[in-house]
Amino acid sequence: MASAARAEVDFDCTLRVIQELPAPPERVFAAFTNPRDMEVWVWGGLGKDAKATADLRVGGRYSVAITVEDQAGWPRSRWAMMGMYLEVQPPTRLVYTVHWDAPVGYNENGKVAIDEVATVDLVPTGSGTEVRYVHMGIPTPQGAEGHRQAVPYTFKLLGAHLAKEASVVGT
């Protein structure tokens, strides 16, 4: 079973999360980069009709989009998180940009937020993988706080997805 996430935000709006997940690094890396896996957990169940793409190479792009019913003042019912892979080292490290085409608290009313950067380091443990996640460049303290609440929740969904998969394989 996955342990509770430890999440903290630095004074410079960098989010750091450490989360243990119940799968080996190879499987966790795949869950961060395989579109079918990304569709299950990335948006935390906020919408429906999730669609993901991933061109897993340095300079390759990814996206995960959902359809939402309550648009929260956003002009479109389709929300997306997208970016470019900056570093790809299976199964231990992934670095990518994060660009939001969705209301995340600091890009409403025509504001365009700069791309952020996420680093994922995967360390094997006796019972799975420790994910060391760093999200840099969040432009506001309020946005960082929102991510501090949301990211551990999405990692919890990822852990449940991996645990469910392991129980099916184990049966």
The packing angle between helices 141-170 and 25-33, to 10°, is 120
First-last CA distance in the chain = 17
Asked whether residue 168 carries a pLDDT value surpassing 80, the answer given is: no
Residues 5-39: tens digit of each pLDDT: 777 666 678 999 999 999 999 999 999 999 999 99
Asked whether residue 119 carries a pLDDT value surpassing 90, the answer given is: yes
Burial class from Cβ neighbours inside 10 Å (0-12, 13-18, 19+) for residue 35 reads middle
Q: Which amino acid is at 15?
A: L
Domains along the chain with CATH numbers: 6-170 (3.30.530.20)
Asked whether residue 167 carries a pLDDT value surpassing 80, the answer given is: no
Question: What is the average pLDDT value for the chain, to the nearest integer?
Answer: 89
Asked whether residue 171 carries a pLDDT value surpassing 60, the answer given is: no
User: Of the candidates 34, 35, 41, 88, which has an alpha carbon nearest to the alpha carbon of residue 60?
Assistant: 88
Contact 160, 31 (CB under 8 A): no
